[in-house]
Amino acid sequence: MPMALMLLTPMYSQADDYLFADVNRDGEVTLSDINAVIDVILGKPVTPPQQNKTFTVNGVSFTMVRVDGGTYMMGATDDDTEARPDERPARMVQLSDYYIGQTEVTQELWDAVMNSNPSSFSGSSKPVERVSWEDCKEFINRLNALTGQQFRLPTEAEWEFAARGGNKSRGYKYAGSNYIDEVGWWGFEKGGNNTSYTTQPVAQLAPNELGLYDMSGNVFEWCNDWYSGYPGPMLYINPRTLYLEDLPAGGTSTTGVFTVRGYHLSDDIHITIEEEGFSVSPESIRVSDAENRDISVTVTYTGPRLSPASATITVSSRNADDAIVNVRYHNPELSVYADNPLWLQEQVVGQDTVITGTIELMGHNLIDDVRVTCNREDFSVTPDVITPVDGVVENAWLTVKYLGTSTEPVSGVIGISSAGVPEQSITVYAQKSVPDTTEASYRANRIALLSPRDSYQGYIDVDPKGPSAGSYRVIRGGSWNVEARFCRCSYRYNNRPEFKHYSVGLRLAL
């Protein structure tokens, strides 16, 4: 009975709460409450969880909300039809404890620290805006000097975890609700609830599950991370096609080597080859050995000498897409590497603008020249003949140019052939551009989205901080002048660190 009473009684609450076992008095009975009870049973000291923190700087107070660490699915799920490619793939992220601002940094707080206010829409309780990422870092440096703390910008993973409600998340689309009007100012002239051409004072709408305000809408918020596509589990092989050399005189076998490297894998790597006369060694690689470093794999052929032979090697791991190595022995092979169709791009060379693109060729055991043709006179390809050296064409590049003046897309077909191998073709598109200086065109040409990946089974990203370098910083949260889909918890935006706009502000982390 004493043990049962201990399990039901909070260690630092009032007596009338004993039936709820809500040890940390956060309104829920969770794993942290159970762990606290177990600590008491084992005689370990129990410290009440630290609550929110309030700071005052030059007469201006602001609150930092505690976010208990946890694991969550970061990014957009497959059923989110509004998601952009760079919001995927969703993957498991594990975070440590941290604090995040209850509201966006206000103009009042910015002025108290910087003795200036860059905002377009004046108002002491409105979020500060027209601040670059670099401005934010200067503000934080001064704030830390005044407070003796270590404030910072949140990482992108921390921002999204907090927006989703942390461990108290109810899976809302926006930060605190499935209905954007309840929690965020959005959509001036786009059907939203913000009908005036301005930002709004912070904390006027409902908070999310953690008590955070305006994480959807009002102003976008800078994060600390450099922008890129989300990292994923991947197998990297080199080369993709392995050519085995002729057997030495008197030899009974021939070998070749390729390398394998793994990223974010959750299981060992397995290597299989099913064709007769071929074998591989090793047939498996421990995941810890292949993480971020090359492992050599030897391929051996013991089949009929000088007879053409080929094989396919499959490299697999449970949570990554398979990688394929094509093996060729004494078998004419011509490989063409290019997008198909290939869009030629405008480039400035000296004083001239050229519309151009490239195609890479590699070949082994070739018995004749490689010949390149095009079916249109307003396209040129150089060189148009490549002579193999001892049957090998290695890292040969073709330059394709469009010589016409059409401002509408035109297409041509590049044919690549050599005796003994199938002819290959690449469709090319080109057009002379008309200058477009609209903001939409600027954004479309600036943002490069990486190809999404769907498989994250078994992989957990622990306290991710994004890439170590880049050109653009991450921006999150939506703003007063955008559509609702840009205010979703998973939406990502980005711009250069020096970028300033009346829709971009910040939120602190600690």
Residue ranges of the domains in the chain?
A: 2-41, 55-230+465-505, 234-331, 334-430
Average pLDDT for residues 128-132, to the nearest whole number? Answer: 97
Find all residues with CB under 8 Å of 380, minimum gap 6, and list them. Answer: 374, 400, 401, 403
* Residue 90 reports pLDDT greater than 90: no
Q: Please answer whether residues 332 and 248 qualify as being in contact, where contact means their C-beta atoms are separated by less than 8 angstroms.
A: no
Closest C-alpha to 229, from 497, 485, 470: 470
* Residue 208 reports pLDDT greater than 50: yes
pLDDT of residue 446: 36
Per-range mean pLDDT, top range of 159-173, 254-268, 319-333: 159-173
Q: Please answer whether residues 28 and 22 qualify as being in contact, where contact means their C-beta atoms are separated by less than 8 angstroms.
A: yes
What is the tens place of the pLDDT at every residue in 266-325? 789 999 998 999 999 999 999 888 876 889 999 999 888 777 888 999 999 987 888 999
pLDDT of residue 4: 39
The residue ranges of DSSP E strands in 210-291, in sequence order, are 220-226, 234-238, 241-244, 254-263, 269-273, 278-281, 284-285
- % of residues, the chain, pLDDT over 70: 84
Q: Please answer whether residues 455 and 185 qualify as being in contact, where contact means their C-beta atoms are separated by less than 8 angstroms.
A: no
pLDDT of residue 440: 45
> How far is 94 from 82, CA to CA, in rounded Å?
25
Average pLDDT for residues 224-228, to the nearest whole number? Answer: 93
Q: What's the CATH fold of domain 55-230+465-505?
A: paralog of FGE (formylglycine-generating enzyme) (3.90.1580)
Going by the DSSP 8-state scheme, the letter that residue 135 receives in this structure is H
pLDDT of residue 17: 37
pLDDT of residue 400: 95
* Residue 73 reports pLDDT greater than 50: yes
> How far is 17 from 276, CA to CA, in rounded Å?
73
* Residue 165 reports pLDDT greater than 90: yes
pLDDT of residue 304: 84
Q: Please answer whether residues 143 and 49 qualify as being in contact, where contact means their C-beta atoms are separated by less than 8 angstroms.
A: no
Where helices occur in 345-484 by DSSP H, the ranges are 439-446
> How far is 82 from 488, CA to CA, in rounded Å?
9
What is the tens place of the pLDDT at every residue in 258-273? 999 887 777 899 999 9
Query: With left for phi above 0 and alpha for psi between -120 and 50, is residue 171 left, alpha or beta?
Result: left
How far is the CA of 469 from the CAs of 118, 258, 291, 472, in angstroms? 28, 30, 21, 9
- % of residues, the chain, pLDDT over 90: 57
Angle at which helices 107-114 and 133-147 pack, to 10 degrees? 70
pLDDT of residue 374: 94
Q: Please answer whether residues 244 and 255 qualify as being in contact, where contact means their C-beta atoms are separated by less than 8 angstroms.
A: yes
Lowest mean pLDDT among 145-149, 328-332, 412-416, 475-479: 328-332
> How far is 334 from 373, CA to CA, in rounded Å?
16
* Residue 481 reports pLDDT greater than 60: yes
Round the CA-based radius of gyration of the chain to a whole number and report it: 30
Closest C-alpha to 184, from 484, 509, 495, 492: 484
Q: How confident is the model at residue 243 (pLDDT cuts 50, 70, 90)?
A: confident
> How far is 487 from 174, CA to CA, in rounded Å?
7
pLDDT of residue 92: 86
What is the tens place of the pLDDT at every residue in 8-55? 444 333 333 333 455 554 445 555 566 666 666 666 555 455 589 999
Residue 394 CB burial class (10 angstroms; 0-12, 13-18, ≥19): exposed
pLDDT of residue 241: 84
Domain 234-331: top CATH class = mainly beta
> How far is 484 from 174, CA to CA, in rounded Å?
9
Q: How confident is the model at residue 231 (pLDDT cuts 50, 70, 90)?
A: confident
Q: How confident is the model at residue 68 (pLDDT cuts 50, 70, 90)?
A: very high
Find all residues with CB under 8 Å of 9, minimum gap 6, and list them. Answer: 18, 21
Average pLDDT for residues 206-232, to the nearest whole number? Answer: 93
Helix (H, G, I), strand (E, B) or coil at 9: coil
**Count of CB atoms situated within 10 Å of the CB of 122:** 10
Q: Please answer whether residues 30 and 22 qualify as being in contact, where contact means their C-beta atoms are separated by less than 8 angstroms.
A: no
**Does 452 sit behind a cis peptide bond, omega within 30 degrees of 0 on the bond before it?**
no
Higher pLDDT residue, 449 or 118? 118
What is the tens place of the pLDDT at every residue in 372-383? 999 999 999 999
pLDDT of residue 28: 54
Torsion angle defined by CA atoms of residues 403, 405, 410 and 413, in that order, rounded to the nearest 10 degrees: -10
* Residue 439 reports pLDDT greater than 70: no
The residue ranges of DSSP E strands in 252-368, in sequence order, are 254-263, 269-273, 278-281, 284-285, 295-301, 309-317, 320-329, 333-337, 342-343, 345-349, 352-364
Query: With left for phi above 0 and alpha for psi between -120 and 50, is residue 38 left, alpha or beta?
Result: alpha
Q: Which helix (H) or strand (E) segment is 395 a member of?
A: strand 393-402
Q: Which helix (H) or strand (E) segment is 88 a member of?
A: none
* Residue 495 reports pLDDT greater than 60: yes
pLDDT of residue 13: 37
pLDDT of residue 272: 96
Q: How confident is the model at residue 449 (pLDDT cuts 50, 70, 90)?
A: very low
Establish whether domains 234-331 and 334-430 are of one fold: yes
Q: Please answer whether residues 479 and 194 qualify as being in contact, where contact means their C-beta atoms are separated by less than 8 angstroms.
A: no
Q: How confident is the model at residue 253 (pLDDT cuts 50, 70, 90)?
A: confident
pLDDT of residue 34: 63
Higher pLDDT residue, 123 or 190? 123
Residue given tokens 């994923």 in the structure block: 232
Structure tokens at 255: 């070998």
pLDDT of residue 88: 84
Q: Which helix (H) or strand (E) segment is 114 a member of?
A: helix 107-114
User: 334-430 in CATH: which number?
Assistant: 2.60.40.10
Give the amino acid at 204. Q
* Residue 84 reports pLDDT greater than 90: no
pLDDT of residue 445: 41
pLDDT of residue 448: 33
* Mean model confidence pLDDT for the chain: 85
